[in-house]
Structure 1
C-alpha cells in the first residue's frame, strides 16, 4: 500500500546509498558544519520554567500583577548570623560591602542596616521626615549597642525584613534592575561582581555570608544545567561505548558508532540554536538521550552486517541487506520512539512542546545518520576479522536466551502469576504517589546555594515570593481605613500559617506612621483609630513626595495594594491547603461587590504549572498509547494483536509508577516524562519480536510454537544488547546533582529493564496461550508494512552493486 515500506523501495534506497557514498558523506559534513554554526544562537534560560500556557488564567493574573507593580522576583538577599557581628569593624565592613553594590548598573536599590530610615514627625511642617539610623561610619561600641537596641526593640516595621530580632540575624536586600533581571546581564552581575566581592569580604572578616533570592538561585541553577550537559554527554559516550565494545570486542565498530552519535549530538545542539530555543533542565537532557538511543541503532545495523558476513562472506551483499532488512525495522522503532517524545508537542506547555519538537527531530536525525554512515564507512573498511565475529557465538548469551525459552515453554503459569502479583503490588503503590510542585526540589541539594536557601527558610520563613493583590475597584480606595483593617486581618491569617513569613504591605507602613506620630514609641505600632486617622494620614500625604515609601505597596492610582509574603519550599498538597485557607479568609473579609483579591507570585505559578502538567501527562501518555496502537493495527490489521502488543508495555509503566509510590518519588515536571519516554522506547522490542514472529510463521508453515521459539531465539540477543545499553545509558542521568534528573534516569532504566523481560517472557507466553485466536493467516500473512523483508537469494541489484563497489 505504501511504497515507503516495500522491499523494493528499500532495495532502491540501498543502491542509492552505496552508489553515492562520497556525495552523501559530503552532504552530511556540510549539514554538520551548517548546524555547528547555529550553536551560537543557543540560549540558556534566565527565567523559571513557565509550565502553563500563556492564555492560562493563572498566567494572566500574574502578568496583570507585573503590569501594575513590576517584576517581583528581582530580590537578592545577603544574610549573616554571627555572635561577633555587632562590632565596630565588622558592622562597618558589612555596610561598606552593601554600599559597593549601589554603583552597579544592574542594581536598582540596596537596603542594608546603614540604609534604614527612622520615620520622624515634624510638627512644624506637619509631615514625616526620614532620618538614617547610621549617619556615618560607626566609631564606638556604644554606638553599636544603641543601634542594636533601636533595631531589635523599637522598630518592628523592619523585623523579618532586614533582621530577625529573635536570632539576631541580619540581612541586606539587593533589588536588581527589572530590565536586566531576566537577561544575561544577571549572570554577569552574580558571577563576576556579587560572588567575588562576598568571597573577599569573608576572607577579610571571617564572617560566613549566606546568599539567596530568586535571581541568584536561578543563575547558579542555570550554570549547573550548563555544566551537566558536558558531563552527561561525556558519561553517556563513555558508558555506551564501553558496553558496545564489551559486546562486539571491536575498536573499529565502537569508533564508527561514536562518530555517528557525536554527529547526532552536534545536530541536536544545532537544532536548538536554529529554532532559537532556550536550554532548560529538559532540553539539556536531549544530547545524551540521542547517544543512548543512537547506540542501539548502531548495534542493530552492525550486528546484522556481521551476521550476514559470517553467513555468506560477501561484504557488499551484507551491506545491501543491512539496509534492506534492518533499515525498515529500525525506521519503525525510531518512529515509535519519536512518537513517545512527539506527544509532548500536542501539549500547551511551551517547555514540553520545545522538548518534544527537538527530541523527536533528533531521533529521526540519528536514525538517518546511522543508516547512511555505518554502511558507507564499512565499504571503505577491510573485511571483518574472525575475532570481530566471535561475539556472535557467545555461550553466555545463548544460555540467557535458552533460559527464557525454557521459562516460556514450561513455566508460563509462573510468568502470569508473577505479572499479576507485580500488577497488584504496583497498583497499591500507585495510590501512594504524591504530586510535588516545589520550585526548589529538583535543584542540587548538595550545592552551597541550596544550603543558603535552607538558612533563609529557617531564619526568615522562605525566599519564594507569594503575592496577594487587592483591587478596591475605585481610585484611592486602598487608603480608606476600612480597607486597611481588612488587609490587616488578612495579614494576621497569613502570620498564623507557619509556612509563610510575616507579610509586609501598606498596613505595615501605616502602622509605622502611627508609631512615628507618637514619637517612635513601639507600643503604637498599630493601625490608627478613625479619630487618629485624619491627623496621621495628613502627615503621610504631606510626606509622600519626600519618602516615596508608598510606591512599593500601592499603585500610582491608589486602587491596588499588594501584600508580599515569602513561602517555604512546600509541595503542591500543602500549597493547595494554604490557598484554600487564605481564600476562605479573603471571601469572608472582602465582599465580591467591592473588592477583588487574587493570589499570585512565582511560587504559586510554578505550583499551578505542576498540577497542569500532571493532567497533561495523562493526555500525552494516552496519545502515545493510541498512536502506537494505531501503528500496530496498521501493521498487523488485528485488534487482538494490539492488545497482545500493549500488555507487555503497559505493565512496566505500572510497575514503575508503583515504585514511585513506594520510594516516595513524587510526580513532578521532571518525572512525568518517564512514562511517555519509556513507552516509546520499550515498544520497539515488541515491534521487533512480532515482526520476526510473523516471518517465522510463514517460514514454519504457521506452526505457532516453533515460530514463537524461533522469534525468541532470533530477537533475544539483540533485545538483550540494546536493553543493556539503554539501561546503563539512562543510568548516566543518576550522576546528576538535580533530584528530578536522577529520578528520571533511574526510573526510565528500571522501566526499560522490566520492558525487556516483559517482551521476552510475557509477550511470547501470551502468543502461545492465545495461539488459536491470534495466529490467523488472513491477518498476519500480508501485513500492511513489511518490517523485516523475507530472506531471498542474491538479487540482480546486489550483483550490480558488487561490480560497482
Structure 2
C-alpha cells in the first residue's frame, strides 16, 4: 500500500500541470452531457409501486379510467348560489374548457342536470306553465323507445340548467331547485352548507409529462390571476396534478438558492478556517468540477434529475469540502519540509483516511439500492457516484496544486499547535487520559435517554400534506376541501367475477348498495361513488317514483333496462363503475389525508366488510386498491427495506474499516460513536413529532456514512502514531490534537451546509437538512468525547 501511495504522490505532485489539464479536459467532456440532461420530478415515483401493485392499479385504470388526472378549483362564499358567484363559475368553467390540455370541465353551471317535468316535490323544474303532473306509482322503467319519446317531448331533459342568459335571482333559484332533485351531482360538487363548490377539469389523455401538466397548471393560474372572483368569493386551485406541479416548481426554484448558497458557504468556511486564498479557491474549483461531472454523467447515461437526486450537486459540494479541509489542515503539519515534499506527505498520509470517509459515505448511499423504489435506487447510486468523484478530484487537484501557489502563512503552518481551539483540544485529551470514565459517563447520561425515547416513541407514518407547512396555501386548500366534504385521495374497492354479467344481478347490487352506505359512514371517508346510486337515480328519473331511490333491485330485467336508459344520451355514466360485461365493478372511496397508518387500517376494514357481505356471494372476489392505499403500503415496505439497508451499511462499513485499519478492535471501537448519533436523531424526531416516513428514513442510511467520518480520521491518526512506537496515551493525545481541529471544521461545514437546506420551500428537504445537521452535531461530540475514552479502554500498548 505504501509503495503505491508513494508512486501516486510522485506522479500527481511532480506532473501537476498535466494532472490539471487532464482534470479540466475530463470535466469539459463529461460536463458536455448537461445538454442531454432530462428532468422527471414525478412525486408518485416515491411511492415505489411493485409489479403486482402496479398491475392491479393499471387494470382498474384500463377498465374505468384514471382518477388522478383532475384539476380542481374550490370556490367558496357565504352562498355559492348568489348570481355573481354563479356568473363567475360559469365563465371560469367555459374558459378552462378552452385551455389546451383540458378534456372536459364539470361544475354546477355546466354539468347536465336531469330535470323531470313532473317533479315529486310538486314544483316544475322545467319551468312549464302547465300544472305539475302527479308522480306515477309504477316502478317499472319505461322502454328505451318511451324514454327517447319523453326526451323528445321535453318531459325529461339532461343539460345545464342555466343557458347563456345573464344569471339573476330567479335563475339561481332554478339551479338550486334542480340540484336539490339531483343528489348525486349536488353531493359531488356542492358542500352540505352550500358554502363551497368545485370546478373540476379533467386533463387530456395526451397530457402525460410533468412539463405538459406544468403548462396546463400555469395556464390555469394565469387565467385565475386575470379574472379575479367577485367580492366575497374565494378561489383556491387544487387537485393532485396541481399539487405535484407546484412541488416541482418550488424544487426548481430551490436549486437557484441551494447550489449557489452552498458554494458561498464553502468559501466562507474555508476563509474562516485558513484565511489563505489558495486554500479557498482550490477546494471550491475541485467541488465545482465534481458537481459538473456527476450532473454531466447523468446526462450521458440518461439518468433524469428527479425529486430526490436534484440535491446531489449540493451534497457533493458540502461533503467534498470536508475532505479539502483535512488535506489543507494536514499540509500545515509538513511545512517544515520542502513544499513539494510536504504535498507528497500530505497525499500519502490522507489518501487512505479520506478514501475511507468517502467510501463509508458512498456505502450509506449505495445501501438504498435494496429498496424496491426506483427513485431511491437512482438517488443512492447518483449520490454515491458524486461522493467518489469528489474524492478523486479533491485528492488529486488539491495536493497537486498546493506547491504551485507559494508559501502559506504562519496560521496554516501552526494550525495544530496554537490557538484557543488547540488549547481546548489539549485539555480534552488530558481529561480523556486522566478520567476516561467521566467523559464517557457524562456523554451517555445526556445521550442515552434521548436515544431510548426515540426508539420507544418514534412513529411510522406518512401523509401527502407532510410536504407542506400548515401555513402553506396548498395545505390550507386541502384541509378546506376535506372540511367541506371533498376528498383528495381515493381508494377503490374492486369486485370481480369470472361469470358473465354476474355483477349485474340484483343480489350483488343490493349487497353492494348496503356496503356503500356502511363505507360512507366510516371515519376518514369523505365520499363514496358506485354503480348502485346511479342505477337508483336513473330508476327514479325514468319512473318519477321517489321510492325507487331506496328500494332493492328485484329482478335482472329491471337492471338491464336501467343500464340501457343510462346510455340513452351517449356515454353511460355507469362506465366509471361497472364494466360492460358485468364482470368488474368498483366502489370509489374518497378519503381524507389522515396518514398511512390510518389509511391502511381503513383499507383493512373495507376489505373485511366487503368480503363478509358482498364477497360471500358465489363467484365474487374482492380487492382493495387505489393510489391512497398503494402509496401507504409502499411506505411500509420502503421503511422495512431501508432499515435492512441500514444494517447492511453497518456491516460493510465495519468490515472495511477493520480491513483498512488492520484491526477488528478499531472497527468495533468506532461502532458506539457511530450508532449513538443515529439513535439520538430518532429521539429528536420523536420529540419534534416528525414521523419516520419515505422522506426521513433515508436520512439514517445517509447519516451512517457521515457519522463515521470523524471517527475514521481519529482512528487513522491513532493507528499512524501507534505504528511509530508511541504509547497508547501519547498516540491518543496526538490523534485528538492532530485531527481535532480538522474534525471540528469538517463537522461545522457539514452542519452549516445541510442547515442551508432549511431555506428550501419543500418541507422534506428542510427536514432532511435539519435531521442530518442534528446527526452530525451529535457525531461531533461522540467523536471527540466518547471515542477517545473507548479507544483508551480497548487498545493496549502491545496491540
TM-score surpassing 0.5? yes
TM norm structure 2: 0.90
User: Runs of 5+ in structure 2 lacking a partner?
Assistant: 117-141, 152-157
2:211 to 169, 173, 184: 184
1:544 aligns with 2:563: no
Secondary structure at the residue paired with 1:80? strand
User: For residue 751 of structure 2, what is the aligned residue in structure 1?
Assistant: 727
Q: For the Cα contact (< 8 Å) 2:308–2:379, is it kept in 1?
A: yes
Deviation at 1:299, TM superposition (A): 0.7
CA distance in 2, matches of 1:493, 1:656: 43
Q: For the Cα contact (< 8 Å) 2:754–2:770, is it kept in 1?
A: yes
Secondary structure at the residue paired with 2:586? strand
1:467 aligns with 2:495: no
1:99 to 80, 83, 94: 94
Secondary structure at the residue paired with 1:431? helix
User: For residue 246 of structure 1, what is the aligned residue in structure 2?
Assistant: 272
User: For residue 803 of structure 1, what is the aligned residue in structure 2?
Assistant: none
The count of aligned residue pairs is: 763
1:736 aligns with 2:736: no
1:171 aligns with 2:191: no
CA distance in 2, matches of 1:107, 1:484: 34
Distance 1:695 1:23, change over 3 A: closer
CA offset digits 1:136-160 (Å, max 9, x no partner): 3344321111212322x22211133
CA offset digits 1:604-639 (Å, max 9, x no partner): 221111101110122111111000111122134444
Q: Let me know the Cα RMSD of the aligned residues.
A: 2.4
Q: For the Cα contact (< 8 Å) 1:730–1:745, is it kept in 2?
A: yes
CA distance in 1, matches of 2:309, 2:574: 42
CA distance in 2, matches of 1:711, 1:22: 34
CA distance in 2, matches of 1:649, 1:415: 17
CA distance in 2, matches of 1:232, 1:224: 12
Deviation at 1:212, TM superposition (A): 0.8
Q: For the Cα contact (< 8 Å) 2:43–2:244, is it kept in 1?
A: yes
Distance 1:543 1:590, change over 3 A: closer
Secondary structure at the residue paired with 1:49? helix
Q: For the Cα contact (< 8 Å) 2:498–2:619, is it kept in 1?
A: yes
Secondary structure at the residue paired with 2:484? helix
1:530 to 541, 545, 554: 554
User: Runs of 5+ in structure 1 lacking a partner?
Assistant: 1-5, 778-805
User: For residue 126 of structure 1, what is the aligned residue in structure 2?
Assistant: 146
CA distance in 1, matches of 2:663, 2:344: 32
CA distance in 1, matches of 2:103, 2:397: 55
Secondary structure at the residue paired with 1:159? helix
1:457 to 477, 482, 488: 482
User: For residue 560 of structure 1, what is the aligned residue in structure 2?
Assistant: 584
CA offset digits 1:214-268 (Å, max 9, x no partner): 1111111111111112222122222232122111112332222222222222223
Q: For the Cα contact (< 8 Å) 1:507–1:527, is it kept in 2?
A: no
2:627 to 589, 593, 602: 602
Secondary structure at the residue paired with 2:722? helix
CA distance in 2, matches of 1:140, 1:676: 63
CA distance in 2, matches of 1:748, 1:40: 32
Q: For the Cα contact (< 8 Å) 1:38–1:274, is it kept in 2?
A: yes
Q: For the Cα contact (< 8 Å) 2:276–2:408, is it kept in 1?
A: no
CA distance in 1, matches of 2:235, 2:67: 23
User: For residue 647 of structure 1, what is the aligned residue in structure 2?
Assistant: 672
CA distance in 1, matches of 2:41, 2:334: 52
Q: For the Cα contact (< 8 Å) 1:42–1:279, is it kept in 2?
A: yes
CA distance in 1, matches of 2:491, 2:666: 52
CA offset digits 1:511-548 (Å, max 9, x no partner): 21122124385x643355416x7446415414515242
1:224 aligns with 2:250: yes
CA distance in 1, matches of 2:350, 2:502: 74
Q: For the Cα contact (< 8 Å) 2:75–2:199, is it kept in 1?
A: no
Q: For the Cα contact (< 8 Å) 1:45–1:222, is it kept in 2?
A: no
User: For residue 159 of structure 1, what is the aligned residue in structure 2?
Assistant: 186
Secondary structure at the residue paired with 1:474? coil
Q: For the Cα contact (< 8 Å) 1:338–1:363, is it kept in 2?
A: yes
Query: After the TM superposition, which of the residue ranges 577-586 and 631-640 deviates more from structure 2?
Result: 631-640
Query: After the TM superposition, which of the residue ranges 715-724 and 173-182 deviates more from structure 2?
Result: 173-182
CA distance in 1, matches of 2:381, 2:785: 34
Distance 1:272 1:751, change over 3 A: same
Q: For the Cα contact (< 8 Å) 2:429–2:732, is it kept in 1?
A: no
1:400 aligns with 2:424: yes
1:142 aligns with 2:170: yes
1:710 to 719, 731, 734: 734
User: For residue 112 of structure 1, what is the aligned residue in structure 2?
Assistant: 107
CA distance in 2, matches of 1:164, 1:370: 61
1:194 to 220, 225, 246: 220
Distance 1:387 1:402, change over 3 A: closer
Distance 1:694 1:22, change over 3 A: closer
User: For residue 458 of structure 2, what is the aligned residue in structure 1?
Assistant: 433
Q: For the Cα contact (< 8 Å) 1:341–1:676, is it kept in 2?
A: yes
1:698 aligns with 2:723: yes
User: For residue 781 of structure 1, what is the aligned residue in structure 2?
Assistant: none
User: For residue 280 of structure 1, what is the aligned residue in structure 2?
Assistant: 306
CA distance in 2, matches of 1:210, 1:272: 38
1:296 aligns with 2:322: yes
CA distance in 1, matches of 2:416, 2:637: 49
Secondary structure at the residue paired with 1:768? helix
